[in-house]
Amino acid sequence: MNRMENTVTVDIENKIDEISNKYDTERALIDTITMDAIYSYRFDLNTGIIAEDIIGKDGINFSTIMGLVPPFTYESVIEATKSAEAECFHNGEIQECTREILLKAYEEGERIYEAFIHFKNNGLIYKMTYVMTKDSMTGHIIVLVIARDVSMIKKREEESDEKLEKFRDNMNSLIGKQMEIVSALSKDYLNVYLIDTEKEEIEIIKLDGYITNGLDKPGGEAKRYPYASICSNYIESRVFKEDISMMYEVMDISTMREIVEKRSELIGTYRVLIEDGLHYYQYKYIPILGTKSVIAGFLNVDTVILNEMKKELEQKNALNAALDIAEKANKAKTEFLFNMSHDIRTPMNAIIGFSDLLDKHLDDTDKIKDYIRKIKSSSKYLLSLINNILEMSRIESGKVELNELPRYTGEIMDGICNIFENQMAAKNIKFIRESRVKHRKLYCDSLKMREIFVNILGNALKYTEPGGTVRFISEEVPSDREGLVKVVSTIEDNGIGMSEKYLENIFEEFSRERNSTESGQVGTGLGMAIVKKLVDFLGGTIEVYSKVGEGSRFVVTLYHRLAENENIVYEEYTNSDETNVSDTDYKNRFMKLAGRRILVAEDNLLNAEIAITILEEAGFLVEHAEDGEKCVAIINEKEAGYYDMILMDVQMPNMDGYEATKLIRNLSDKKKADIPIVAVTANAFEQDKKNALDAGMNGHISKPLNMLELRRVLVDVFEKV
């Protein structure tokens, strides 16, 4: 029971790891969305804690600049921003983006909250985007903060920097000459002005755009105007109301004097309201070296801003899509873990419960037999569930490979049907099988085909009442794909059927119309999900038709390449369900093997004890090697023929079973190199059996050990060598 619990725990952890890896894809998408951000970081809205450094796109550590060391709080970032003389605006109003405001916005249905931060000392404007989503595990709101610089119009700046630099270098001559140079070099600006910070006057150099009231077009004798009144008139009559406060600060004469004193430039964007609507403008102020004057240039940047807005909208839509994907993945993960926990706990409860009852009734033989039977039944169901979970994991992780070989299609279908003939007869179900495939030799991935049809036929057997009928018909039809043979297989029954509502979800993981209590049938709810993924992988289609009380019909369409001139490949191993040899016969042949010496390579002491006990009770001489490395060393040490067989675990420390087998097969002593080796592993899928044979092993036995399978594999291997 402890071994079973350990196996379940490991497999669940593996599945959770694989599900978690899916979220790396969503994280990479968010990283792409924030590529043009100055910086981005995350914090817990419920606690305010920021557990990571705020690193900018150029590697600048903003948290270090602000004097903060993780973990710090979102409030400390707000305080640091205030100390930089910055104001935060939301919808044109001054409003700090506190945790309370963000939480209220989230509660009102907003997942993306936007604001602007204006830094008075340099005129920069940052657009702040707060993306909020709930963590399904903790219930806390996690906020992704993205900061972008919307005050810089890089393209325009690059085009004009060279001209403006020349302008600064040549502004020490006469004012007339200065005006001539400025006019020549400012052709990219709609409006250019000279601002005298001493006299507090403004002069027009260029006026192409309708932007200012009360100013004459340049020409003739230079005319100057009172700077304060012109600015006030312009701001009040043209600047968009939400930008008025900002532009008063930008255009204030004290700001112009600061530009002169610091010999610095000031650049930014704002909005202008004209008759035909709202427009975006860029301002740029440059000091004239050696004077108390500033050159001011204004440029319409509607196209640039609109492109930026379009880009931001696309990014926002992409971000919303990423959020939807992440939330759906979170929901899927939660539902998967819930369903898996429920389905695993059901048989585990029976195993534990009947084990306790077994301990209490050791003197009652009838009860002991009944409890052991029920424990075995629950164990088989649990093992089936684990195998299906691992199979789903293998398919979703992309570890499934296409293995098409030239095969007789009739042989494949016969092998599948042979599994069910006796079971159908035992349940008094009429089983009709028919093949109308014209081309006998086709390329097929027989393992995946077997898994598809065994799952569907298994359900038909399970949900068809005694006296019912199951039909399995394969038919070759005209192909709609050039060079490929189209085979349509129909499995139809007149069983209990399914509702129309359930059919919409039949291929989802853990999807069942009724639980085991309602239907009286035990199932994992993963079979049809596996079938759909395998059919899709093979490039085929599957359709389902069903009606409650009338039965179900599954139609599987697969495409195959012709193999008429190829040598047919036969399976090198068979499943125990497919053999026609009776277990009694195998048991008699197995007893004749008593006295053979077997080396068990197994790192888990409990598993080793079980294998050794079973073999010794059957009359074998058994020795133990703790891992693959010791197994190879023991084979090297003993004389050839000392051991008759190795039962080799696949996953072991120091050296795994595959590597150990490879080394043994390459030994110079041929008798030692040819010793029969059988894989004993929890990797129980058909592909794992093939992997064992490809590695040079002679057979495969899955864990937990089954006496019937053990007998058959050992007899088959010993009789072949």
What is the helix (H) or strand (E) element at residue 636, kind and residue range?
Answer: helix 628-637
- Please give the average per-residue pLDDT across 198-214, as a whole number: 70
Beta-carbon contacts of 646 under 8 Å, excluding residues fewer than 6 positions away, are 598, 599, 600, 601, 631, 635, 664, 675, 676, 677, 678
Q: What is the pLDDT of residue 23?
A: 47
The structure tokens listed for 414 are 């016969």
Residue range 60-69: average pLDDT?
A: 82
Q: What is the pLDDT of residue 619?
A: 92
Contact 89, 95 (CB under 8 A): yes
Considering all CA atoms of the chain, what is the largest pairwise distance in Å, rounded to the nearest integer? 123
The answer on pLDDT for 254 being more than 80 is: yes
**Distance (Å, whole) CA 287 – CA 178:** 13
Q: pLDDT at position 37, please?
A: 81
In Å, what is the CA distance from 203 to each residue of 159, 566, 583? 25, 91, 107
Q: What is the residue-wise DSSP string for 211-254? A: --SS-PPS-SS--EEEHHHHHHHHHHHHB-GGGHHHHHHHH-HH
Please state, in angstroms and rounded to a whole number, the distance separating the CA atoms of residues 59 and 66.
Answer: 15
Residue 390 and residue 11 in contact, taking contact as beta carbons nearer than 8 Å: yes
Question: Please, which pLDDT band fits residue 632 given cuts at 50, 70 and 90?
Answer: very high
**Which parts of 224-349 are beta strand (E)?**
224-226, 266-274, 277-287, 293-300
Looking at residue 674, the DSSP 8-state letter turns out to be: T
Strand 141-149 versus strand 39-44 pairing type: antiparallel
For the residues of 9-54, what is the DSSP string, one character each? Answer: HHHHHHHHHHHHHHHHHHHHHHHHHTTT-SEEEEEETTT-EE-S--
Residue 501 has pLDDT above 90, yes or no: no
Which token pair is 583? 């277990």
**How many angstroms separate the CA atoms of 94 and 113, rounded?**
15
Which residues, listed in sequence order, are joined to residue 126 by a DSSP beta bridge? 117, 149
Integer Cα distance of 181 and 204 in angstroms:
14
Percent of the chain with pLDDT over 90: 25
- pLDDT tens digit string along 409-443? 888 888 888 878 888 888 999 999 998 888 888 99
C-alpha to C-alpha distance for 286 and 296, rounded to whole angstroms: 7
Q: Is the pLDDT of residue 19 over 60?
A: no
Q: Where are the alpha helices (DSSP H) in 551-596?
A: 583-591
273-312 pLDDT, tens digit per residue, is 887 788 888 888 888 877 888 888 888 888 777 777 677 7
Nearest to 474 by CA among 544, 546, 556: 556
